[in-house]
Amino acid sequence: MKTRRIKKSRLLALLVIVFIVAFLWAGGESVLRSSISKINPLPTQSPTTAITLSSVTSTWERVHRVIFLKSAIDAKLDKKSYVRLSDTPLALQQAIIAVEDSRFYHHVGFDIEGILRATLVNVQTGSYIEGGSTITQQLVKNLFLSQERTLGRKVEEFVLAIDIELRYSKEDILEMYLNTIYFGSGAYGIGEASTIYFGKPPFHLNLAECAMVAGLPNAPSLTSPYVDFAAAKQRQAVVLAAMSRNSYIGPAQAQEAKLTPILLAK
């Protein structure tokens, strides 16, 4: 146990160093240099000085977040509607993994195979269809990052994803993901989604309901059953097919779930 802790500490230290070097390489160095050269020692600061000071603060906030990750995550989680993984159906967990990150238990925060597959699909179709992001990377984005596509943001996403994998179990990561993802219709987290769509806690969702709600994060504003029920059913079929393909359920179970009536809360 002691050896494992030492190894994790060394990995974390290496991760912090890599993050700082990568951030500087991605553009942070010029920000820091201009900040240092423009800081006004007088009480009255110009708007330019305020902006550069803000940039310095932002840089060290990011480093601080990597080092003190657990406290940063705790500050972001909504404990009022938080649902433990033990209170969510196994079918829901399997549905999310099957459709969002089928190699979830085999990667360390990012999936090279998934990235290569997504790149190939996007090149073949000539459009951005697949992103290749893992559940861990999506959790990082939900908690901390904006949707901008810059090199610096991507570096931070990869570093934080690895950091999370070092500090949390896969079960913890899946639990946090389920509690932070947006399911559409104003529902953040599986607790709110289950109540808003089906009028009951997650533990009582059947396979058909699990598959439908698991399909929503892909495009929550478009596939909410309150917005477009047909689109929600199509996504449900995609999820059930993914579950069958990954051997979580059989073809007969998938077909039965497709035919199960969906009773919405409103």
Summarize pLDDT for 108-158 with one digit per residue, the tens. Answer: 888 777 666 655 655 555 544 445 689 999 999 999 987 666 777 788 888
Cα 94 to Cα 145: distance, rounded to the nearest angstrom: 26
User: What pLDDT is recorded for position 64?
Assistant: 82
Taken in order 11, 101, 201, 191, the sign of the CA dihedral is: positive
164 closest CA partner among 151, 148, 180: 180
SS3 43: coil
193 closest CA partner among 207, 208, 175, 205: 205
User: What pLDDT is recorded for position 15?
Assistant: 58
User: What pLDDT is recorded for position 3?
Assistant: 46
User: What pLDDT is recorded for position 7?
Assistant: 55
User: What pLDDT is recorded for position 61?
Assistant: 79
User: What pLDDT is recorded for position 18?
Assistant: 55
Averaged pLDDT in 10-residue chunks for the chain of 266 residues: 50 56 48 43 46 54 86 91 96 97 91 66 50 87 80 84 95 98 96 97 98 96 96 97 97 97 94
SS3 188: strand
SS3 182: strand
